[in-house]
Each structure stands twice: as C-alpha cells, then as structure tokens.
Amino acid sequence: RVRTLHGYGVLYDAHSIASVVPRLFEGELPVLNLGTNRGQTCAPEIERAAMKAMLAQDEFEAISNGRFKGGWITRSFGRPHTNVHALQMELAQRAYMDEA
C-alpha cells in the first residue's frame, strides 16, 4: 500500500541489545548498528543517508554492516529492485539506560 501511494517503501526494523554480550561478541558494541546485508536490502543512497544522519551526531559511535548485517526481516522484505528498502538498527542499551 505504501509503495503504491508513494512509489517506494522503507522498512525500518529496530531493536535494542545489551552493549556487552559475551556469549555472542567480544568487547562492547557500537551504540548505533545499521544492517543492510552489505547493501543488498536497500538502495545505496538510502544506506548513505542513514549513515550520514547517524554520523552527524557526535554522542554515539555508528557502524554499518558490522556485527549486525540485517536479520531475517530485513533480508526477507528488502527488495530494492522493487522499491522496497529495508534497514535494521540495533541500538546498544547504554544509549538510553544504565545497564548496570
């Protein structure tokens, strides 16, 4: 419906995660973790715009396609060739809460 109305659609799949998850990753995660399955789930200009917005602020570090490259929802529904773009965001919980 959105694509019919606007010519394109953007799915934003957002989650939060503990900043440190020893059973999954070593060290501390960046606060902003964007995933596009290495550019396969959205147009390059959308990924660039998202990263530009994330990097424009200086409070949190940001990365694209680091430890989170896009999960099942992103990979299943992101179809840039049909103007349906999908991005995943994993937000480290230290951005908004004391994790202690």
What's the distance, CA 36 to chain centroid?
7
Domain count, the chain: 1
What span, in angstroms and rounded, lies between the C-alpha atoms of 35 and 67? 9
Residue 100 is assigned to a structural domain of this protein: no
User: According to the model, what pLDDT value does residue 88 have?
Assistant: 98
Residue 28 is assigned to a structural domain of this protein: yes
Give CA angle at 34 (60, 23), nearest 5°.
Answer: 85
Binned at pLDDT 50, 70 and 90, residue 1 comes out as confident
Residue 48 is assigned to a structural domain of this protein: yes
Tens of pLDDT along 57-97?
Answer: 999 999 999 999 999 999 999 999 999 999 999 999 999 99
User: According to the model, what pLDDT value does residue 12 have?
Assistant: 97
Residue 81 is assigned to a structural domain of this protein: yes
| pTM for the whole structure | 0.91
Q: Which domain holds residue 49?
A: 2-95
